[in-house]
Amino acid sequence: MARAAGLSIATVSRALNRPELLNEDTRRIVNEAVARLDYRPSVAAKRLRGNRTDLILVVVPSLSPFFLDIFAGVEAAAERAGFSVLVGHTDRNSARERLFVDQVGASRADGIILVTSVDLPTLTGMGWLPPTVVALDVDGGGGLPMVRVDHVAGAEDATNILLNLGHTRVAHILGPERSGMTRHRLEGYQRALAARGLNVNPDYCVRGDFTVESGVAAINALLALPSPPTAVFAANDQMAIGAIRGLRRRGLQVPRDMSIFGFDDERIAALCDPPLSTVRIPTFEIGRTAMEQMLRLLEGAAMEHDLVLPTELVIRDTAAPAPDRA
């Protein structure tokens, strides 16, 4: 103990936390002793008293690059506030999710940020919940603080780009059934068409499952139509890339023969050939905002309980004017 400094234990504590209360001399003495003994306050003891850990647990369903930027955002905001970030992933397993929540219950962390909860209803049904913020879930719910993104508006924007380029036959490759994301993105597509008085041709809505292969299959189905589209909005980048690949295999070029738009702005979108026009989800900002919400929650400050962040169009090289306009 730093009482080898010849001073009382209380004084040392003050010197470290509220130096302004002390004599300059005493302060100096303490500082010297600290330096001499290479003394570091025990975080554990501080926690025992303060009942806080300055730790936030971020739980993701899977460790995909997509969540990396979210994490980066959380970390940025956390660091500024003196928090560190614990990471866990649930493997989309609801039991694991509950386990993590319990960890926080056991005061291993001050709060938990759930990036896309696996099973929100069960969670909110569990009597007590630690301070929780849900990020990126499509559907609101549970009355927990949320940070989300407007998939409908994003899809509408993307479709509008295609429409503004003069395309009138614009198809949509949907995501898997029963996914809220799929539903929202489809809705955005429909809205954009409706706003122009165009009606949705059911043949132009083909189902995929978010994989590259399903994109290839979808474009083949579209091409087999008596009157194929001239532009395609895919519900994610992978399927958009599949579409481009399918087109290329038939000797068709993007965007000369067909315009393509994706969604997500995954890393590969910028790297593929040609670079894909797509819709960016503000991942970093979602992470940052979620952490900021957490800080407010922890302080008991007033807060907006459902924050919706806008997406952003990323125009690259896969969308060109419609052929009759070119």
Question: Residues 6, 19, 65, 323: which binds a second copy (CB under 8 A)?
Answer: 65
Which residue type occupies 220? N
> Binding partner of residue 8 among a second copy, DNA, none, CB under 5 to 8 Å per kind?
DNA
Identify whether the C-beta of residue 286 lies closer than 8 Å to the C-beta of residue 71.
Answer: no
> Binding partner of residue 297 among a second copy, DNA, none, CB under 5 to 8 Å per kind?
none
Residues 6+ apart with CB under 8 A from 324: 166
Question: Residues 69, 137, 156, 264: which binds a second copy (CB under 8 A)?
Answer: 69
Find the part of the chain contacting a second copy (CB under 8 A) among 41-49, 116-124, 174-182, 309-317. 41-49
Residue 23 binding DNA, by CB under 7 A: yes
Nearer to a second copy, 169 or 280 (CB): 280
> Binding partner of residue 1 among a second copy, DNA, none, CB under 5 to 8 Å per kind?
DNA
Residue 212 binding a second copy, by CB under 8 A: yes
Residues in region 228-267 near a second copy by CB under 8 A = 238, 241, 245, 248, 267
Residue 178 binding DNA, by CB under 7 A: no
DSSP string, 99-158: HHHHHHHTTSSSEEEEES-S-HHHHHHSS---SEEEES-SS--TT--EEEE-HHHHHHHH
Q: How far is the CB of 121 from a second copy (least distance, A)?
A: 21
Distances (CA, A) of 269 to 106, 146, 277: 42, 28, 8
Distances (CA, A) of 82 to 11, 56, 230, 295: 24, 11, 52, 11
Q: How far is the CB of 241 from a second copy (least distance, A)?
A: 7
**Which residues are 135's β-sheet partners?**
115, 147
Question: Residues 35, 38, 48, 227: which binds DNA (CB under 7 A)?
Answer: 48
Residue 95 binding a second copy, by CB under 8 A: no
Burial of 214: CB neighbours in 10 Å, binned 0-12, 13-18, 19+: buried
> Binding partner of residue 221 among DNA, a second copy, none, CB under 5 to 8 Å per kind?
none
Which contiguous run of DSSP H or E holds residue 180? Answer: helix 180-195
C-alpha 136/C-alpha 287 separation (Å) is 9
Residue 273 binding a second copy, by CB under 8 A: yes
- Binding residues for DNA, rule: CB under 7 A, are 1-2, 7-11, 13-14, 16-17, 21-23, 25-27, 39-42, 44-46, 48-50
